[in-house]
Structure 1
């Protein structure tokens, strides 16, 4: 018997969300879903297969190791590493046919040498920093850099891209200025004789707020998983939350008035209280900030987390739930009957964004994949 604590991943929801993105950006724009951080905690391999089946053109990852995982799973589609990696990783990039980000001469030269030694062509995307101040060549240096890279043997420039720091803000002035800088720089690169087919800039918030940023390809991240990381959305679109975190009641105990629950005795019962214990904790990614704050669902009814969340266990007040038993399902976020708890709600309670909530669900929580409402695969980390 597998662990009762699972993250249920609805692959139909991910397919639906991709179809919504495709409808927004139109048929002339390619889609590069971000499947980094193990597919935002959903499982990179299964998410990648799903989005490729639904028409995605490329996959975005953060590390070489993430790219190799996909290659080892027999995924042969284009994969782009979105961050700068080290020169001593160039040989593996060539070996595994992975597209890489270039924004400095050291890595570009190392990749060129690796490609020539292997008798292959390495495909690269040049990163331009238009305001994130995290990674990329400056706009003033971009043309000279692109020309230099284009002359290196064994390299082919496929794309030029940049990233938004604030495309989900209420004031989009800075983002609009970025778009104009990017438009100008990419035009100047092409005017200098460097030919490349793809300009890409739009993340999830930009897909919803800034259609002028679509260019040739978009890179949806959090919205692919049915979530938002901002409340400032100009083009609302139906999305379906793909992850449900659930477990089962493992113990029930009635306590009296004045009895305490958990470490630090932060919950003191003001009535006779039926306490349910569930086998999940902060080691599984259920954040300690949710102690005495978060709701969960039992029989479709919201009940509160009481006491401090432990490493492996959480306590609930189920006094008001009729006919509750050991083994009953508990949903920490997702849908149960008529009840629903969004991941965004949990993120607000934690003081963070939905991205952090889902990417910190631990490896010891099995992912159970669902298609047409039925489990068809379980992956245990």
Structure 2
């Protein structure tokens, strides 16, 4: 045992910086700025600092509270609010975000009033839906909305943006990126605004950017998972030149017993309304750990030992088949075990107040888990 509390999320900031340097360089080679997205770790200070050290041009997050924390820590980079602004929190948006993403003229009117009351101008990016069907005005309405926003004294429309691969799974392409450029040009002509920023999406844009076919007019990207987890978001494969051992979940064995692999007795639904299926593998050594569905998306956990099988979880307990794990003969109650979380699992772990967050200092070392390139 290490003596540290469990369950805990271990964060390796130097490894995140390593990834940021690689991804940011690709964006800069294209002539684009890169916003480092910290939301998957709830803008943990060590992660934000790692992004800054990795050369990102902005810090982006979807929660105003996270931006407030980042601002109050003295981070000097511009802060971007990713989630569509809420009218009810307009005053906080203009106080803690330098730039916000918007698609509603009604909301932008409220943001303008809040900015005027605060004695400032708030920058906005008008989001355009180029096919993924999440946020953004439809292209044929963009000119109308941009023209209306241009009349508001408290805001400055600094560009257009889009989001892809988050809801509909639509892949960034020559067609939808060119559409964003064309809509920007039409808005320019109608408003007289320069609209210098074209924010071409999130980590899903990275493969298209690397292909060399990204239109040169697209000059901003919002990168989160590709930096923090070193993943290609389309298939979660390792992104070349990045590490995937940037964070890990460490949990503790609280029970270790040999049991049948199929429940005994009449069965109904479990606590989550499910009727799980079980494979009869005979009597197996099962370990229970002190983390559950209240803390993590269990399907998003990858054991460091590939011979371990995750059987499932209740609200508070994770149940594993450890019969075939290396060194199983020495496993005891109180021992620790580590897992790599995927994006969904990391988001839940970061949000859970029951999981301690521990920063592990030092340069990348130990058994590396990274993609060469």
> TM-score under structure 2 normalisation?
0.79
The alpha carbon displacement at 1:32 in A equals 0.6
Listed one character per residue, the Cα deviations across residues 274-324 of structure 1 (whole Å, up to 9, x for unaligned) are 43332222222152x68xxx8734xx5622234x42222233343442322
1:179 maps to which residue? 177
Among 13, 16, 22, which residue is 1:14 paired with? 16
The alpha carbon displacement at 1:47 in A equals 1.6
**Aligned partner of residue 32 in structure 1, secondary structure:** strand
Is 1:357 aligned with 2:357? no
1:218 maps to which residue? 221
1:164 maps to which residue? 164
Contact kept in structure 2, 1:202 and 1:213, CA below 8 Å: no
Contact kept in structure 2, 1:295 and 1:304, CA below 8 Å: no
**Aligned partner of residue 313 in structure 2, secondary structure:** coil
Contact kept in structure 2, 1:247 and 1:279, CA below 8 Å: yes
**Aligned partner of residue 189 in structure 1, secondary structure:** helix
**Aligned partner of residue 49 in structure 2, secondary structure:** helix
Is 1:303 aligned with 2:302? no
Q: Give the distance between the partners of 2:173 and 2:263, measured in 1 at CA.
A: 54
The alpha carbon displacement at 1:49 in A equals 1.8
The alpha carbon displacement at 1:374 in A equals 9.2
**Residues 231/168 of structure 1: CA separation in 2 closer, same or farther (3 Å cut):** farther
Is 1:270 aligned with 2:277? no
**Residues 117/43 of structure 1: CA separation in 2 closer, same or farther (3 Å cut):** closer
Q: Give the distance between the partners of 2:121 and 2:68, measured in 1 at CA.
A: 18
Q: Give the distance between the partners of 1:97 and 1:229, measured in 2 at CA.
A: 26
2:273 maps to which residue? none
Q: Give the distance between the partners of 2:86 and 2:14, measured in 1 at CA.
A: 37
Contact kept in structure 2, 1:260 and 1:266, CA below 8 Å: no
**Residues 265/119 of structure 1: CA separation in 2 closer, same or farther (3 Å cut):** closer
**Residues 267/98 of structure 1: CA separation in 2 closer, same or farther (3 Å cut):** same
2:109 maps to which residue? 109
Q: Give the distance between the partners of 2:354 and 2:37, measured in 1 at CA.
A: 23
Contact kept in structure 2, 1:208 and 1:236, CA below 8 Å: no
Number of residue pairs the alignment of both structures matches = 342
**Residues 260/138 of structure 1: CA separation in 2 closer, same or farther (3 Å cut):** same
Please give the root-mean-square deviation of Cα atoms over the aligned residues, in Å: 3.4
**Residues 53/25 of structure 1: CA separation in 2 closer, same or farther (3 Å cut):** same
1:203 maps to which residue? 202
Listed one character per residue, the Cα deviations across residues 218-251 of structure 1 (whole Å, up to 9, x for unaligned) are 1112111222332398x95232122211223233
Is 1:24 aligned with 2:8? no
Q: Which runs of 5+ in 2 are unaligned?
A: 271-275, 366-373
2:234 maps to which residue? 230
Q: Give the distance between the partners of 2:38 and 2:239, measured in 1 at CA.
A: 23
Answer with 316-325 or 122-131: which moved more: 316-325
Contact kept in structure 1, 2:252 and 2:335, CA below 8 Å: yes
The alpha carbon displacement at 1:330 in A equals 1.0
Q: Give the distance between the partners of 1:109 and 1:202, measured in 2 at CA.
A: 25
Contact kept in structure 1, 2:38 and 2:60, CA below 8 Å: yes
Listed one character per residue, the Cα deviations across residues 84-137 of structure 1 (whole Å, up to 9, x for unaligned) are 223232222233354222322211221222222222111111111221222222
Q: Give the distance between the partners of 1:128 and 1:68, measured in 2 at CA.
A: 27
Q: Give the distance between the partners of 1:79 and 1:236, measured in 2 at CA.
A: 26
Q: Give the distance between the partners of 1:301 and 1:227, measured in 2 at CA.
A: 19
Among 327, 331, 352, which residue is 1:324 paired with? 331
Q: For residues 236-251 of structure 1, what are the structure 2 equivalents within 5 Å?
A: 237-241=240-244, 242-251=246-255
**Aligned partner of residue 123 in structure 2, secondary structure:** strand
